[in-house]
Amino acid sequence: MARLFGTDGVRGVANQELTPELAFVLGRAGAMVLSNGSSRPRFLIGRDTRISGQMLEAALVSGVTSAGADALLVGVVPTPAVAFLTKALQCDAGVMISASHNPVEDNGIKFFAADGFKLPDQVEDEIEALVYQPPNGARPIGAEVGRVIQRPDGLQKYISELCSRVPVKLDGMHIALDCANGAASECAPEILRRLGARVTVIHNDPDGTNINVECGSTHIESVQALVKAVGADIGIAHDGDADRIIAIDHRGEVVDGDHILAICGLRLLKQGKLPHNKIAATVYSNGGLVQAFREAGGDVVITAAGDRYVLEAMLKEGLVLGGEQSGHIIFLSDSTTGDGILSALKLLEVMVDTGQPLEELARVMPVFPQALVNVPVRSKDHWNSQPEIAAAVEEAEKQLAPYGRLFVRPSGTEPVIRIMGEHPDRDLVETAVRRVADQIHASLGVE
């Protein structure tokens, strides 16, 4: 039986794989495991803007309250807001209903512990065990049943927290902002304006079905065009649950998560504020990031793909900064999880403090040519046992050696296999990656 929890909670097509029935059982199991011995446990629940969110919220709340825990509903908020509010409001756990950057038909349920951190594997396994084998004990009745408590003030608490964490003065700065019709739609423009910026915002009118649709951090063409059209100093694009950021300089050029790690990390290094002179990044990060840090006297701890592995390395090594090329960045001194809006403020702070445009700041990191292809597949199971795929990967690795590298892995959140190659010769790496992608499609691809 495949593990229910993936790299970022439980994901699936809403009402097909991630059903209300499953959400109910997850809520009940989560409340039983994460109640921390409280006589009246409190679970904070938030969601993004996708249409299935309220359906799953209702089922999840039923599960939580049926176990005797109170459900605090904060409505539509970014994922990092749930992490922050769980700890700030002294809840036993937090739950976010979101599929992040995935299409609208998908959704997900991810849990946060009382300290605002995502759950370790062993705790997820405890919840999963109760999902498959629910206990037969008596359920709470009467006054012991959990209550539903509305907390509409939650979003404003998060907004105030970010403004106080990074009180950068943005007077005179013009920002083009893409909210992905998601959870950032209300709070991101308000935060930037409260700090003094002039904000031109797009894709901030969610209707339940337009989240991530040709917008946001995975579809940056519209914010690139907006930056140039309005003459903005910087463009910022978030994803559906606002835990990511991709930036755009005034020319319309992309400044991705690796660049942001370099800009913010090297500044901390120069200021003597980077513990152990290291940051954490994944195997998918550009080799230029490592080169930039080593030339400056620092280094990069390389982890497996996925923000949970970045966080694991940061906690183990005592680091304060880590992230992914996709724009999921963790500033551990300020947040327990990736926060796209916080990351935007940190980047803007460097721009203000140095007086340098984003284009110039991004030059601190050389960029090695990369090619990334996502291949939709019928099944991700046992993909690496296919002899034709193994042969194609081996041949590509030989082509890219000794100066390049190749990574092939199944996505933890989508039915795709990701192939990433890196090499100083762009044509060579693109050809090698395409050949592997073609073989995976031939063997496992969706027609």
Active site residues: 100
- Asked if 371 contacts 254 with a C-beta cutoff of 8 angstroms, the reply is no
Tokens of 312: 């694991």
Residue 334 backbone dihedrals phi, psi, to 5 degrees? -120, -15
- Asked if 80 contacts 131 with a C-beta cutoff of 8 angstroms, the reply is no
Calculate the alpha carbon distances from 161 to 2, 88, 393 in Å: 39, 10, 47
Residue 384 backbone dihedrals phi, psi, to 5 degrees? -85, 5
- Asked if 408 contacts 418 with a C-beta cutoff of 8 angstroms, the reply is yes
- Give the position of tokens 């090619």: 371
Calculate the alpha carbon distances from 305 to 143, 267, 325, 416 in Å: 46, 25, 10, 14
- Asked if 219 contacts 212 with a C-beta cutoff of 8 angstroms, the reply is yes
Residue 88 burial (10 A CB sphere; 0-12, 13-18, 19+): middle
| Helix/strand/coil for 295 | helix
Of 81, 85, 88, 107, which Cα lies nearest the Cα of 26?
A: 107
Euclidean distance between CA atoms 91 and 171, whole angstroms: 37
Euclidean distance between CA atoms 251 and 235, whole angstroms: 10
Cβ atoms within 10 Å, residue 52: 22
Euclidean distance between CA atoms 329 and 281, whole angstroms: 9
Euclidean distance between CA atoms 218 and 100, whole angstroms: 11
Residues 6+ apart with CB under 8 A from 339: 78, 80, 162, 242, 243, 329, 330, 331
Euclidean distance between CA atoms 252 and 237, whole angstroms: 12
Quote the crossing angle between the two packed helices 154-165 and 340-354, to the nearest 10°.
30
Cβ atoms within 10 Å, residue 245: 31
- Asked if 421 contacts 396 with a C-beta cutoff of 8 angstroms, the reply is yes
Residue 67 backbone dihedrals phi, psi, to 5 degrees? -95, 5
